Chain A
Amino acid sequence: MRIIILIVFFLYNCSVDDNKISKVDEYSKKGILLLGNGTEPSGIDPHIVTGVPEHKILLALLEGLVIFNPQDNGVLPGVASNWEISEDGLEYTFTFNKNARWTNGDNVLPSDFEYSWKRILSSELGAQYADMLYVIKNAENYHKGKINNFSEVGVSSTGNKLKVVLENPTPYFLNILTHYATWPVHPDTVEKHGGMLSRSNQWTKKENFVGNGPFVLESWEINKSLKVKRNELYWGNSKNKINGIEFIPIDNELTQDRLFRSGGIHLANTVPTEKIKGYRENRPDVLFEHNYFGTYYYRINTTKYPLNNISFRKALSLSIDRELLIKSILKGNQIASYSFTPPNPQGYDPKTQLEFNPKKAKLLLDNSGYDTESPPIELLYNTSEGHQKIAQAIQEMWKKYLGLNIVLTNVDWKVYLSRETQGEYDISRAGWIGDYPDPFTFLDMMVTDRGNNKTGWSSKEYDKFLKLASAKINNDSRYKLYEQAEKILIEELPIIPIYTYTRTYLLSQKVKNWQKNILDTNPYQFLSLE
């Protein structure tokens, strides 16, 4: 009995707080954001990392020439206080903010960007996002070793100006600059801790890190938390209302959900599908759902029979009831996709259609010459309950409307990627999130022989439209060419768009000025805590 009394007394003393003040309440008062951030970041070197959790952290620690504007998906001055664009759209001259500083007190110089872009474009570093800079003159040639002299690449600095010469007029170049791959590193620090080309460089360690963002690295405990605090040297520090951020890696969405509900974090970056309905009904104040610049689609291996037949692929698409799928399976306010590029608030609106018409589908299938005795078609997806539910529903639709036998195969992530890249699949589920708000980030993927094409599909006309578009400085004429390219894509269907992603997450009402935008990016210096 004594032991039981002792345990109860111990538990009582261990209770979170007598007045039930949650961690979120406590940290809100201190001006510290607590963010659930998915998996443990693989690193914080902007030229090496590739993931979303890493992006969220880099957004606090580093700053590029411009900042993403969360209100209109455009850009705001960052390290560059202003810029000039030549009439032909090929030359950008950035004037640097004289107050832009590194956390060690050094000024952020145009030459730092030269160094940084040389670094990411050096093939020895093995940067997977180097192609973000291919719009710069000769950047691709340098990266692929066709030229060895970096001075031939279209980047040069004089005084406090950085001049960038592009391969083609690229109206979305400023948007590209909001991507962390284009952000700078501190040259002396990188050189001191391993050199420009070392992947094992130690400059990102807490004791070595030098950044130029609104926050500075405070501590990093692996699989526990990464903390940043306000950077007093940041040029926009006076407007920053956040004192610090704690990024908590939580890869299990149920754990994250429990943590949010118990007041442990301001933001749970995902919501378990089965709980969305409950939140809609009981806590609509914390549930955020909005469009995301991403498309969920099925990738078709167009080199294999019977998928090499356009009529067969059309039949597949015509027999998918996207609206039903969203209503009954996804339940997350997704939007049915009728084009590869999601609806773009910048004005791009392709007039493509993907109707649901089982009768027409059956007719097309019958006319495609498909041998009904053929082996079943495999539908490949990476292990996930969500992917499985969609695959099962589509399998059922194809069976019901076309009489097709589809075999579902789920494999782990790496096996899935490997099989897709090797072309060892018939149909596979796929998803793509745009890197910047322009249709090119989607349409470029399907150009002949692009690494991310993976379908074996090629169209000279499609490639031609994209090439023609790259020469246009005017968005309207560029978008018209993109629309024509998109039309070819939807006509030939090497991919079958299913739905446009929705971002669904939980956000405490204590976080103010949060903007729902298609890239799901909110620079932290614009937020505040109540």
Chain B
Amino acid sequence: MIHAAPGGPFDAERVASPEILDKLNEAYDLDKPLYVQITKYLVSAAQGDFGPSFKYPGRSVAELIMSGLPTTIELAFYSILFAIFLGVSSGLLASLYPGKLLDVIPMSISLLGICIPSIILGPVLVLIFGIWYEILPVYGWGDNPGDKILPTITLGTAYAAIFARLTRGGMLEVLGQDFIRTARAKGLTEIRIVLVHALRAGILPVISFLGPAIAGLLAGSFVVETIFQINGVGRFYIQAAFNRDYTMILGTSILFTFMTLTFVLLSDILASFLNPTLRDSGGLE
């Protein structure tokens, strides 16, 4: 598809002569028919070779991806931890006091969290903590103490808000069920009822959403990586499309597809482990 898009990897403001363009196309096999290019690429990709980058001569796509992948994964990991911690705890709190202030406040904040995109939240946090109060660095990842805090909050907030709403909904449904009433009748403490019995079932919507959330965090990290100048792989994803860096586009697309499928599968497995009804149905329902 990218071959069909106007413009090529070697288009530049300073126009290269046709002879030079021929040499460049030859060097990267672009002079060959598309099916030959695709076949060659697939054979190489199966062996872990995603080809050379057109934009960065002398560097392979795999090398470039590997240079940013650990950072992107780390950013997504911290963000999901932050989202789970904040989202589940506030959702839990809200579910215990439905309709009261402790429900209305966290849920209103979570609605705000869902509504504010990271492209707005990031600069606002930078302005407050980085420029006005100067207590946190505004760029980088792992270079200065505390520079991981703002990117983590920026990326994780929207998911924390979703998790809060999912937890609240799941918990409210579970707290009204018979086995909770039975537990109360047996004289179990409220904390034990909520944290051991109710939460295990009430958190299931969160578990189901974990896979898409992690995939979304990884794929959506490019905005945060750009705002905070983080050297993750997300930036390559976008730059490659603008640069018509064909091999890089394919490489990053394969990577994100693979990660999305993996995390969705893992969250399904985790959900079925926690929820006996999913396990017992044998996937027939």
Contact = CB atoms under 8 A, between A and B. Distances in A.
Contact of B67 (A222, A262, A418): A222
B84 interface: no
B20 A201 contact: no
A262 B5 CA distance: 40
Contacts, number: 155
Interface in B12-53: 12-17, 19-20, 23-24, 27, 52
A144 B14 CA distance: 18
A13 interface: yes
Contacts of A40: 239
A204 interface: yes
A454 B229 contact: no
Interface stretch (B133-141, B159-167, B250-258): B133-141
A258 B123 contact: yes
B275 interface: no
A42 B6 contact: no
Contacts of B130: 258, 262
Query: What is the predominant secondary structure among interface residues of chain A facing chain B?
Result: loop
B244 interface: yes
B242 A14 contact: no
Contact of A14 (B15, B17, B123, B149): B149
Contacts of A43: 56-59
Interface in A359-392: none
A11 B136 contact: yes
B244 A262 contact: no
A413 B242 contact: yes
B168 interface: no
A9 to B, nearest CB: 12
A414 B19 contact: no
Secondary structure class of chain B's binding surface, majority of residues: loop
Given A16-B144, A43-B58, A222 B231 contact: yes
B261 interface: no
- Which residue, of A48, A199, A204, has the highest number of chain B Cβ atoms within 10 A? A199
A127 interface: yes
B262 interface: no
B146 interface: yes
A258 B138 contact: yes
Given A202-B58, A258-B123, A16 B226 contact: no
Contacts of B138: 258-259, 262, 264
A48 B57 contact: yes
The size bracket of the interface on A is: 35 or more
Contacts of A451: 15-17
A128 B14 contact: yes
Nearest to A129: B14
Interface in A231-261: 248, 250-252, 254-255, 258-259, 261
Given A14-B145, A261-B131, A126 B20 contact: yes
Contact of B11 (A123, A421, A452, A454): A421
Contacts of A42: 55-57
Contacts of A145: 19
B64 interface: yes
A45 B58 contact: yes
A366 to B, nearest CB: 36
Interface residues of B, number: 55
A417 interface: yes
B202 to A, nearest CB: 21
A166 B232 CA distance: 48
A128 B12 contact: yes
A323 B5 CA distance: 38
B68 A16 contact: no
Interface in A12-50: 12-16, 20, 23, 40, 42-43, 45, 48, 50
Nearest to A382: B13
Contact of A221 (B24, B55, B67, B123): B67
Nearest to A256: B229
Contacts of A258: 123, 126-127, 130-131, 138-139
Contact of A415 (B7, B135, B149): B7
A144 B149 contact: no
A414 B135 contact: no
B57 A16 contact: no
A158 interface: no
B58 A200 contact: yes
B180 interface: no
B227 interface: yes
A254 B123 contact: yes
A84 B52 CA distance: 44
B98 interface: no
B8 to A, nearest CB: 7
Given A417-B13, A421-B15, A452-B14, A123 B23 contact: yes
A222 B66 CA distance: 10
Nearest to A433: B13
A223 interface: yes
Nearest to A23: B144
A413 B55 CA distance: 14
A296 B149 CA distance: 42
Contact of B15 (A16, A255, A454): A454
Contacts of B145: 13-14
Nearest to A12: B135
Contacts of A161: none
Interface string A200-222: 11101100000000000000011
Contacts of A127: 20
A124 B23 contact: yes
B134 A200 contact: no
A11 B231 contact: no
Interface of A: 11-16, 20, 23, 40, 42-43, 45, 48, 50, 123-131, 144-145, 194, 199-202, 204-205, 221-224, 248, 250-252, 254-255, 258-259, 261-262, 264, 411-419, 421, 431, 451-452, 454
18 contacts: A13-B146, A14-B135, A16-B136, A126-B16, A126-B20, A128-B16, A222-B64, A222-B67, A222-B231, A223-B230, A251-B226, A258-B130, A262-B134, A411-B6, A415-B7, A417-B12, A418-B7, A431-B13
Given A16-B134, A251-B226, A414-B6, 14 more contacts: A14-B149, A42-B56, A123-B20, A125-B23, A126-B23, A130-B20, A144-B17, A200-B58, A205-B58, A255-B139, A255-B226, A264-B137, A414-B7, A414-B244
